[in-house]
Structure 1
C-alpha cells in the first residue's frame, strides 16, 4: 500500500470526490446559498421601516455575530475537515447528543426552505415573461417550483463540479445585477438626478449609536438582518471535496460574509438615498421594493434585478440541499444515522440517497404547506431563524472548547478562536431567545393563528425539534449505541496543530 493511500484512509475518506472544487467555487456556493438578491428584496423594506436611515447600521451589527461564527467554522475546519461540520465539531466537544441535534437542525433547514425559494423563483419567472395568468395561479407556480426542485436536486446528484460551475454563473449574475444598481444609483445621486424624495447619504448611517431606541429599532432590525447572512457555510460542507481543504472552504465562508456585508450595505445606502424613506415605507415587507426602485434607477435594464431574484432563489434552492446531504453522510459514517445515508453514487461520487431524500421530503413539505395556505409557507421560513441560531451558537461554543488549550498561546488565538466565537454564540443565543418570544405571539405570524396557544412559526420549529429528540432517543437504543458512547470535551491534539494535519473522522477512526 502506498503512503498516499495509507494517508487517505487515515484521514477518513468518505468516498466523496476530492479536489472537485477550488476557492472561487466555494465562494460562489457560499454567496449563492444566502440568496442575496432574494434576501434583500424580502427584508430590506421592513428593516428600513424599523430603523429608518440607520438601516445600514443594522446590517453592520447583524454582520458581526455571523462573521464571528464564520471564524469558528474556519478554525474548526483547519483541524477537522469533515463534511458534517457542526455535527462533527459539536459531537467532539459537547458530546454525541448535542452533535446529533446540531446535525439534525442542519438537515431540517433544507427541508423547510427549498420549496419557498423555488416558489419565489417560479413566481418571478412568470412575471418576467409577462405571463400574468400563470403568475397569479397557485397551481402553475407550484408546478414550476416542483420542476425547479427536481432539476436542482438532479444537478446536486450528478456532481459537485457541475454544481460549482452552475453556482459560479449564478453568483456572478445576481451580485453583478445588484452592483449595477449600486453604481448607477450612486452616479445619479452624485449628478443630482436622484428620485424626487432623495436624501443625501451620510456615513452616520453606519453608526449604530445613532439609533434612537435600541429595543424598538436595533433588536427587531437585527432579528431580521442577521438571518439574511445565513447559508455561507455551504462552502465548508464541501470541504472534503475541495482543494486546499484545511484552508480554502473556511476562507470562502469568511470572504462570503464580507462580500455580503458590502453588497447589502451598498444596496441599502443607494436605496434609501435614491428613493427616500416614504417610498420604501409604502412597501414595508413587500418584496417588490427592490424592483420598484430598480425601475427608477435602471429604466429598461430593471428586468435584470427581477432576473437576479429568480437566479437567487434557484441558486439557493440548489446549494441549500448540499449541507443537509453532506451532514447526513457524515452522521451515517459516524454511526449516528442509518448506513443508507453513507452510500456514495459509484459514478458521480456524491451522497445520492441523502440528496434525493432531502429533495423529496422538501417537495412533500412544500406541497403540504402550500395546500394549507401561502401564509403557512411563509411561517415555515420564519421558523428557520430558530434552527439557524441554534446550530450556529453550538458551533461557536464548540470552537472555544476544542481549542481551549491553545487560547493563551497567542493574542490571535484568544481573540479569534476563543472570544469572537463565544461572542457570536452568545449574540445568537440571545437572538434565539428574542425570536422565541416574538414567534410565540400568533399575531407575529403570517397565518395569524395559534397552535396550542403559540404562533405557527414557533410550533413548526418545536415540531422539528421534538421530532429530532424522538429520533435521537430511538437511534440511541437501536443502531447508534456505539456512537452515543463517545466522550465529550475533546481538545484539538497538539501534534495536529504543530504538523498542520487533521484529526481522524468520527466513525472511521474507531
Structure 2
C-alpha cells in the first residue's frame, strides 16, 4: 500500500484524497444539490396519494414521524463526516467502524438504491416530458407517446446520457444546473400551496377541510400496519439528503460544511412537505372520489390531477416543475453512486478502474459512466420484461434505504464508543441520536421485508407465492453479497483490513 493511502488533510485515518476538485461547493450549493436529489415536486406528486390512502388526514403526522429518524441519522452522519471526511461515506465509515465486510455491504446498499432510482427518475422525466408537449401544443395524444415502448426506452436513455454528461463535467457544472431547476420547482410548489389555501378561504375548494390538531397526532392512525406503511413511505420521501456528505472532498471546509448541509437540507424539506401536504388536504380532502386525495385514480400523480383546478391556466407550470424536479434529481443523484464507486475502487474494494478521475474535470470519470450504464441497463431490462418488475423494484427501495442508513447510523455509535459518555454533546450526537435513528430504520427494514413477502404488497405480482417486492429487494442485497465474495477472491487485501483498517475514535480530553 502506498503512503498516500495513509493520510489526508484531516490526519492519520487510513484515508486519502482521490483527486476530486476541492473547495468547489459551499454550504448553499450543497443544500441546493441536497434538495434537488430529494426532488420535492416529483416525490410529493408520487407519494402524497399512496400515503393518504394509508393514513388519511394524519398525513402531516406521518411526515413528521418519518422526519425524526432522518434527522437523527443526519446528526450521526455529521459526526462521522467531522471525524472522517471521505467521499465513500457509508462504505468508508462502516468499514472503519465494523470492518470491511459490513462496510462493503453498506456501500452496496447505497449504490444499488441510487442506481435503481436513477432509472425511475429518468422514466418519470420522460412521462412528464411528453405530457408537457401535449399541454404546450394542446394535443393530448402527444402524452401517449410515452406508452410506445421503443420510443420510451430511447428517450429515457437520452435523459440518462444527458444527466451523465453534466455529472461528468464536475461539481461546478452540476451546481449551476441545479440552482435554476431547484429554484423553479420550489417557486411552483409555493404557488400551488398559496393558490390552494386561497381556494379554501374563498369557498371554491373541491372539499374544503379545516386543519385540525388531530392531523398531527400519529397515535390516531387506525392500525400499526397502516402506521408502518405510512412511515415507510415517508422515509422514502426524505431519502437523498446524504448526497451532501458524498461531496465532502469537494466542499469548502470539508469537516463541517457537508454535515451542516445535510441537517439544513432535511429541515428545509420537512417545511416544504408540511406546507404542500396541508394545502393539498385542505383543498381536496381525503375522499376517494373526484379530486379527493384518497382517490386511487389520483395516486399515480396527484399534482397532475389537482394542478388545473388549483392553478388554473398556469397548471402547465406544475408539469414543468415535476419535469425539472425529476431531471434535476436524475442529474444530482449521479453524485452519490459515482463517488461511492470511486472510493471503493480507490481503496481496492472494487477494480482500480472505478477509482479513475477525469484529469480535466476532476470528477469520477469511470464511476460516473458506469453508474449511467448500470441505470440504463436496469431500466431497459425491467421495462422490457415487466413494468410491474420496474415499479416493484422501486417499492423495494425502502428496504435498501433503511438497510444502509441503519448500518451507517450504528457505525457512528460504535466508532465513537470510547467517548460517547464523556459529555452531553457527545452522548446526544454521537450515541443517542444515531442509535435511535439507526434502530428505527433497521426495524423498518425487517418490518418491510416481512410485509413484502405477501403477494398483495406492491403490484400484486408473485413468484411461488412470495411477493415480487420481497424477491427483488432481497435479491438485490444477495447480489451484493455475491459480488463481495467475488471481489474477496480477486483482491483479499481490502477484506483483510490491510487497506482501510478498522478502528475507533479515541477520546481526547
Q: Return the TM-score normalized by structure 2.
A: 0.92
**CA deviation vs aligned residue, 1:421-468 (integer Å, no higher than 9, x gap):** 11111111111111111211222132x332344222222222222221
Q: Distance in 2 between matches of 1:219 and 1:462?
A: 19
Determine the structure 1 residue equivalent to 2:211: 201
Determine the structure 2 residue equivalent to 1:246: 255
Is contact 2:61–2:218 with CA below 8 Å preserved after alignment? yes
Query: What are the equivalent positions in structure 2 for 1:380-395 lying under 5 Å apart?
Result: 380-395=393-408
- The correspondence for 2:155, drawn from 131, 144, 150, is 144
Shift, 1:9, TM fit: 9.9
Residue segments in structure 1 that go unaligned for 5+ positions in a row: 1-5, 499-510
- Is 1:188 the equivalent of 2:196? no
Q: Distance in 2 between matches of 1:178 and 1:353?
A: 36
Q: Distance in 2 between matches of 1:222 and 1:51?
A: 10
What CA RMSD, in Å, does the superposition of the two structures yield over aligned residues? 1.9
Query: What are the equivalent positions in structure 2 for 1:9-408 lying under 5 Å apart?
Result: 12-130=16-134, 131-189=142-200, 191-209=201-219, 211-278=220-287, 279-283=292-296, 286-408=299-421
Is contact 2:412–2:434 with CA below 8 Å preserved after alignment? yes
Q: Distance in 2 between matches of 1:53 and 1:28?
A: 30
Is contact 2:196–2:205 with CA below 8 Å preserved after alignment? no
Q: Distance in 1 between matches of 2:26 and 2:41?
A: 24
Q: Distance in 1 between matches of 2:440 and 2:16?
A: 34
Residue segments in structure 2 that go unaligned for 5+ positions in a row: 1-6, 135-141
SS in 1 for 2:120: helix
Q: Distance in 2 between matches of 1:472 and 1:422?
A: 27
Is contact 2:418–2:506 with CA below 8 Å preserved after alignment? no
Is contact 1:46–1:284 with CA below 8 Å preserved after alignment? no
Structure 1 pair 470/7, CA: closer, same or farther in 2 (3 Å)? closer
Q: Mean Cα displacement is larger for which, 344-353 or 408-417?
A: 408-417
Is contact 1:476–1:484 with CA below 8 Å preserved after alignment? no
Shift, 1:489, TM fit: 5.8
Shift, 1:174, TM fit: 1.4
- Is 1:479 the equivalent of 2:491? yes
Q: Distance in 2 between matches of 1:400 and 1:7?
A: 23
SS in 2 for 1:50: helix
Q: Mean Cα displacement is larger for which, 394-403 or 457-466?
A: 457-466
**CA deviation vs aligned residue, 1:165-193 (integer Å, no higher than 9, x gap):** 1112121111221111112222333x333
Shift, 1:113, TM fit: 1.4
Between the two proteins, the alignment pairs up a number of residues equal to 488
Is contact 1:94–1:488 with CA below 8 Å preserved after alignment? no
- Is 1:411 the equivalent of 2:420? no
SS in 1 for 2:452: helix
Runs (4+) of structure 1 exceeding 4 A deviation are: 6-11, 486-489
Determine the structure 1 residue equivalent to 2:441: 428
Q: Distance in 2 between matches of 1:212 and 1:361?
A: 40
Q: Distance in 2 between matches of 1:395 and 1:353?
A: 26
